[in-house]
Structure 1
Amino acid sequence: MFERGYKTWCEKYSADIRSKLGAPKDGPLDTRALAKLLGVRVWTPHDIPGLSAEALDVLLRNDGKSPSCWSAVTVVVQTKVVVVLNSSHSPARQASDLTHELAHRIRGHQAREVSLSEDGIMLLSSYDKLEEEEADWLSGCLLLPRDALILIRRNRMDDAEAALAYGVSAKMLSYRMAMTGVNRQFA
């Protein structure tokens, strides 16, 4: 799946970036500070100039049923990079979406194609499967590095309390605990 050493590289990158941000290696990450460090602006649909109230309503409709409900999109115009987050999602989801988009930038991934439909609707193509998996793993390491997971278990933090403290979803915490082997280590 990943190139040899990728997961180790992600943990090291997370530690290095936290050091640059002055954040503890086992504490929560300020995702917006990370974006700023990387030269990426973070917007919500409310920040998009000239967006009509009707378009805003459509973009922020979050009925939980629609498979087309969007999470985040990265827009690059010349040298400016903006990540637009769906502000109808929870802060934990937004943090995850932002770090995922930043992970694509960190890894140098390029979206395959952007085109317009006959109706004038912008169609965004995604990254390939490996690039999505790389961004998922790096995003998880940025939000919850192994040092943080060990601290959570060592301090016997309740999962709900830990998710809240780190600004992540319970699902993300559970996934990282399982995939890194920290749950087995503390079983």
Structure 2
Amino acid sequence: MAFRRGFKTEANSLALDVRSELHLGALDRLDPFVLADHLAIPVVALSGMGASSAGANHLLNHDPSAFSAVTVFAGSKRTILHNDAHSDGRISSNLTHEAAHGLLHHRPTPAMDNRGCRLWDQDIEDEAQFLSGALLVPEDAALAIARGRFTKPEAAAHFGVSEQMVQYRLNITGAVGRVERARQAGYQSR
């Protein structure tokens, strides 16, 4: 995961700006449906495609891990289609990830090549993953978790995310090491 120079700082700042627009502090839970509405991006649940749809039925009931969410374009208008068979924490990450693509002005790309193979731009997926994490669990929240304000399960419940997202944010921010270094520096200065 190699981000362009300055991306993390820009993404953290953008996340705080968006959270501020939504009147959220660093320790407040972000509702991804409110975020999508704020960005004027409609959200459609896969189950809303109709139980008679063989594809939707398969993805909802037989292989829910095969599909999380996608942004569908009609011109410049975005719509997020998501798999509502996932856990609430996963849905939160899925929707926020797709909203992050919009916030980062990622351009639409074809989903498949001419052979039917999935096209994937790892750089923009990594950027959306980072920004979605910063939106859901801001850096200050990761530091609060590392300081012991919440256990990982408590943090996941509080922020409406999976424990995997909490761990990702602790890792990507270096929160645990930063808190430990601050504690050691505090002990040494006594």
Q: Shorter chain as normaliser: what TM range?
A: 0.7 to 0.9
- The residue number in structure 2 matching 1:9 is 10
* Paired position in structure 2 for 1:58: 58
- Residues in 2 aligned to 1:52 and 1:124: alpha-carbon distance in whole angstroms: 26
1:181 to 163, 167, 174: 174
For residue 78 of structure 1, what is the aligned residue in structure 2?
A: 75
On the 8 A contact 1:19/1:25 being kept in 2, the answer is no
Distance 1:135-1:142 versus aligned 2 partners, 3 A rule: same
Cα distance between partner residues in 2 of 1:81 and 1:58: 25
The residue aligned with 1:109 is 106
Q: Does 1:146 align with 2:143?
A: no
Q: How does 1:79-98 map to 2 (within 5 A)?
A: 79-98=76-95
Q: Look up the equivalent residue of 1:57 and give its one-letter code.
A: N
SS of equivalent residue, structure 2 residue 42: strand
Q: Which structure 1 segments of 5+ residues have no match?
A: none
Report deviation, 1:117. Answer: 7.9
Mapped partners of 2:113, 2:10: distance in 1: 37
Write the distance in 2 (CA, Å) between the matches of 1:38 and 1:78: 16
Relative to its length, the structure with more helix (as a share) is: 2
2:152 to 122, 140, 159: 159
Find out whether 1:21 has 2:22 as its counterpart.
Answer: yes
Q: What's the counterpart of residue 129 of structure 1?
A: 122
Q: Name the counterpart of 2:46.
A: 45
Output the amino acid matched with 1:161.
Answer: E
User: More displaced, 12-21 or 151-160?
Assistant: 151-160
Report the CA distance between 1:57 and its aligned residue: 1.5
Contact 1:93–1:169 under 8 Å retained in 2: yes
Structure 1 residue 56, shift from structure 2 partner = 3.2
Q: What amino acid is aligned across from residue 54 of structure 1 in structure 2?
A: A
Whether the 8 Å contact between 1:112 and 1:125 is mirrored in structure 2 is no
Q: Which amino acid aligns with 1:46?
A: S
